[in-house]
């Protein structure tokens, strides 16, 4: 299959990304799809609006499926993702901008949070660390 230059770039970016970068890419894709849906809504293009909303919905669904339930934050994110999906579907059914704007704002906030988490320094283990012995 022949790829465009953009397709080759995107494939290289995805294959070289760490898990946190992949999450940020998913957020970016959902934000872009939501913004495009809002533009199509304003233009009155029902088909393209619906297509972009469903693309954003699919990305948020993938984010929800990737959650690890053993972490407390996953429960909070699952609820937030469900709410975003509800907003996207409401916007599609009622053909209104409010829920799309709210979904875009929430996704942008989450994306910013992940970007900041990626930049946070990882605590370094001291070289003098010695594990405790369990023997008496």
Could you read off the pLDDT of 48-67 as tens digits, one per residue?
A: 999 999 999 999 999 999 99
Is residue 122 situated within a structural domain? no
Is residue 3 situated within a structural domain? no
Token duo for residue 24: 């940020």
Burial 60-94 (b: 16+ CB within 10 A, else e): beebbeeeeeeeeeeeebeebbeebbebbebbbee
Q: For the domain that residue 106 is a member of, what is the CATH number?
A: 1.20.120.340
Is residue 84 situated within a structural domain? yes
Q: Which residue segment(s) compose the domain that 92 sits in?
A: 16-114
Scanning the chain, the segments in alpha helix (DSSP H) are 5-15, 19-43, 46-65, 72-94, 98-119
Could you read off the pLDDT of 75-113 as tens digits, one per residue?
A: 999 999 999 999 999 999 999 999 999 999 999 999 999
pTM, two decimal places? 0.79
Could you read off the pLDDT of 108-117 as tens digits, one per residue?
A: 999 999 888 8
């Amino acid at each position: 299959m022949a790829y465009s230059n953009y397709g080759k770039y995107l494939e290289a970016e995805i294959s070289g990304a760490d898990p946190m970068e992949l999450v940020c890419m998913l957020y970016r894709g959902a934000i872009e799809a939501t913004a495009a849906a809002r533009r199509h809504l304003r233009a009155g293009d029902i088909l393209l609006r619906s297509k972009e909303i469903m693309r954003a919905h699919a990305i948020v669904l993938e984010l929800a499926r990737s959650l690890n339930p053993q972490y407390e934050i996953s429960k909070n994110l699952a609820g937030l993702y469900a709410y975003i999906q509800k907003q996207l579907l409401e916007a599609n059914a009622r053909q209104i901008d409010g829920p799309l704007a709210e979904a875009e704002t929430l996704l942008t906030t989450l994306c910013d949070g992940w970007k900041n988490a990626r930049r946070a320094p990882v605590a370094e283990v001291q070289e003098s660390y010695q594990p405790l012995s369990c023997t008496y």
